Amino acid sequence: MELDLIDVHFDLKSIKPRELEEALEDPFGLRLLPDQESGESRFYALGRTVADRLLFVCFWTDGKRTRVIAARPMSAGESRFYERKYAEFK
């Protein structure tokens, strides 16, 4: 996956590119598809990093590149949803 981090709407010092890759590649992560425009699919993802940090990531992809639009720590509700889905896979 090639990450495109141009014009991001978050601080790259608080969430590192490595953490974004880990959250997006989380085998138990959840991806939600809100809409599609002009051949580019935009997603919301809930994922966990290797350091056990839970992240919410908004991104689009054209199948080759992944452009991160926004990222932040998960809210309490998102975290509960992720943990409930994670428990179903275990």
pLDDT at 40: 63
> Which residue would you say has higher pLDDT here, 2 or 79?
79
Sheet holding 2-4, edge to edge: 2-4, 65-73, 54-61, 40-48, 30-37
Per-residue pLDDT tens digits for 14-61: 999 999 999 999 999 998 877 666 666 678 999 999 999 999 999 888
